[in-house]
Amino acid sequence: MSDTDKNLSWGPHDIGGQTAGPVDRAEHDTAYWEWQIDAMLRLTMQKGLLGDFAELRDGIERLDPDDYENLSYYERWSKSLAAALLAKGVVTQQALQDRVAMIRQRQAEQ
C-alpha cells in the first residue's frame, strides 16, 4: 500500500505503508556469532553499559540507510552495539580495529 500521505519518516526503519516486495519467510539457523552478539548485548545491559533495548534500537535507526537495507538482523545489532560502546568509551576505535583485523586474519587462515 503506497497511499499514505506521509513522507517525513524517522530513520530507514519507518517504512510502514510504503510499497514493498514480498516478505522473505525463509528460516535459517542462528549462527554461533549471532548467539555471541546476543550474549554481548545482554552482558552490556546487565553491566549497565547499555540502558535498554531502546538504546540498541536508536543505534539501528541511525544506521546508514544502505546498511539498514543490506545488513542482516544481527549485523545491525553488532553495528549499533559497537557504536554505543565506542561512544561511551567502553572500547576504543583502535581496539575494535585490532580485533577485526585479528578475526579477518584467522578467517583467512582457515
List interacting residues with another protein (CB under 8 A). Answer: 1, 3-6, 8-10, 14, 16-17, 51-52, 54-55, 57-58, 61
Q: What is the DSSP letter of 63?
A: S
Using the minimum distance from each CB to another protein, give the nearer residue, 34 or 55.
55
All three cell numbers of 17, joined, read: 505503508
SS3 state at 50: coil
Contact 50, 44 (CB under 8 A): yes
**Nearer Cβ to another protein (55/67):** 55
Minimum Å gap between C-beta 56 and another protein is 9
For another protein, the closer of residues 51 and 65 by Cβ is 51
Min. distance of Cβ 33 from another protein in angstroms?
25
Least distance (Å) between residue 19 CB and another protein: 12
CA nearest to 63, candidates 3, 7, 12: 12
Distances (CA, A) of 43 to 16, 23, 24, 90: 32, 32, 31, 13
Closer by beta carbon to another protein, 40 or else 83: 83
